[in-house]
Amino acid sequence: MTMVQAQSIMKAAPRITVIDPRPPEQAKLRVAAYARVSSDSEDQLNSYIAQVDFYTKYISSKEDWEMVDIYADEGLTGTEAQKRDDFNRMINDCRAGKIDRLLVKSVSRFARNTGEYIQFMRELLRLGISIYFEKENLDTAKMTSEQAADLYGAFAQMESTNHSSNMRVSNRIRMEKGIFTPPTPPYGYRLVERELEIDRDEADVVRYIFRAYLDGQGKEDIAKELNELGVVRGHGRERWYPSTIHYILTNISYTGNMIWQKTCATDTFPFRQIRNTGQKPQYFVEDSHPAIVSQEDFQRVRELMARRREQFLSHAQRRPSVYSRRVFCGVCGSMCRRKDIRGKVYWVCHRHDQEKSRCPVPQVPEAEITSAVLRLYHKLAQDPARIFRPMAERLRELRELELRSNRKITDIDKEIARLSEQNLVLVRLKSKGYVDPALYLSQQDEITHKLKELKKLRRRALEASGEDQQLQNTEAILEYLEDSGRPFQRETVDEELFEFLIQRLTVYSAETVKFRLYNGLELAETMERAVR
């Protein structure tokens, strides 16, 4: 090897530089908190503010934590998640991957229904989100099974059951002593220091309804006129229905008297309000509050209703039947006709009546149709919320999805997000002592007020933009079954059922009839002949 070749090899040797190891920068944990209080009382509102303030400071104090948001619901029950706007917003943010960890005061603040509790717990665990419950010292990040979750969920449900039982006993004692205050005042009144006082604007509407009915207007015409005038109903409801007018005209509360416990809660969880048809005592209270209409006008309305009912029944006797033009054949689609055979009334398909080979659906006794109608009504009236409330909620969800592109709602959402961020900045400045406490409270109160108004505006925009007829009809049916004031045990089929509830009947065979309700829902009933 020559000297030149050796030098060439030496020059080709690589240079090595050692780089000291540095730990990679660790991403901060995105943490949020959920707070809730279960009533609108001043003490509970203070508790709500304290929870929001505590979690904001606590999360901000952790260097490796990044605060996402403080989700908080005021004055709402924890037994049903669908009634908690911020809870649902939090769950949606979890699904969107914005949150790594949740802080909650206690299990009962998260949910009081075991099924609902486990449902959300499982979903959040699948999403990789841990939850820390302060009161129970329970951290899902350290759980090895769902046994602890089941246990604490059951404790939360037990707490809600005990609380509900105590409230029922307390309310019964208040009723017996005559010091009970209804949780929701009737339309036309407002609660002031646990006393019913007349709301002047709403009371004028009540008086107008009574006066219009006594002047000869029908319930449907009155409802239509109020909707055209844009009269707001209150309690989050905007539309008027004939069943609403009927409820007001038959509500004895407007005379200054009141019947307590017209509805009662079920004894099993989840609790539901049902019509009290003798399960529990009722209490009639005279002169319990100021009257909006006189006893005389209320009695005149009752007498006029009775006369109109008699006139309708008399007219119905001259007509073939209340089922006329409402019964159809499920095979050929023909309208069924009434047929009287030796004093017994039947409904038969036109084609089958002309020639049996043209349609296989036989004639059906009217008595069996009536029995099927009454069975359907009683099933729906026993617990209308079980069917129609979830349906209404689903329709609202579908409508909201369709309105995602609505510019007005998008702008409101952006403003809500901006104010929420502004509130978090304000809290951080307060925690570091940069903001005077008085100024902090003033600014936070202003922001909170704006957020509430924006949320109301958003709900109104959702309800006003493209509200479909199916949702309106579902809400009308629910109101009719819950608030019509009719006795629960209906024994006859009258025009009212076909005015508010049933659109048409379809006979498929001697055993099956299907009912189409005004909201498009179709329900089948087996006629008595099939079970004899």
pLDDT digits (tens, 9 = 90+) for 148-198: 555 555 555 555 555 566 566 666 676 666 666 676 788 888 888 778 888
| pTM beyond 0.75 | no
Query: What was the pLDDT predicted at 40?
Result: 47
pLDDT at 60: 82
Higher pLDDT, 327 or 49: 327
pLDDT greater than 90 at residue 243? no
Sign of CA dihedral 452, 457, 462, 464: positive
Question: pLDDT-derived band of residue 532, with 50, 70 and 90 as boundaries?
Answer: very low
> Which residue is listed with tokens 């006794």?
365
- SS3 (DSSP) at 203: helix
Per-residue pLDDT at 88? 84
**Residues 137, 143: Cα–Cα separation, whole Å:** 12
Query: How confident is residue 328, by pLDDT bands cut at 50, 70 and 90?
Result: very high
- Percent of the chain exceeding pLDDT 90 equals 12
pLDDT of residue 329: 93
Mean pLDDT of 19-23: 60
Pairing mode, strands 195-198 and 258-260: unpaired
Rounded to an integer, what distance in angstroms lies between the CA atom of residue 380 and that of residue 374? 10
pLDDT in tens, 466-485: 445 777 788 888 888 876 54
**How confident is the prediction for the chain on average, in pLDDT?**
76
Q: What secondary structure letter does DSSP report for 254?
A: G
Tens-place pLDDT, residues 501-520? 899 999 999 899 999 998 88
Q: What is the pLDDT of residue 261?
A: 64
- Torsion of Cα atoms, 293 then 294 then 295 then 296, to 10°: -120
Question: Reduced to 3 states, what is the DSSP secondary structure of residue 498?
Answer: helix
Q: Which two tokens stand for residue 322?
A: 């209340």
- Burial (CB count within 10 angstroms: exposed 0-12, middle 13-18, buried 19+), residue 227: middle
SS (H, E, C) 516-531: EECCCCEEEEECHHHH
Asked if the model's pLDDT at residue 128 lies above 80, the reply is: yes
Strand partners, 139: 132
Check whether 145 has a pLDDT greater than 60: no
Predicted local confidence at residue 427, as pLDDT:
73
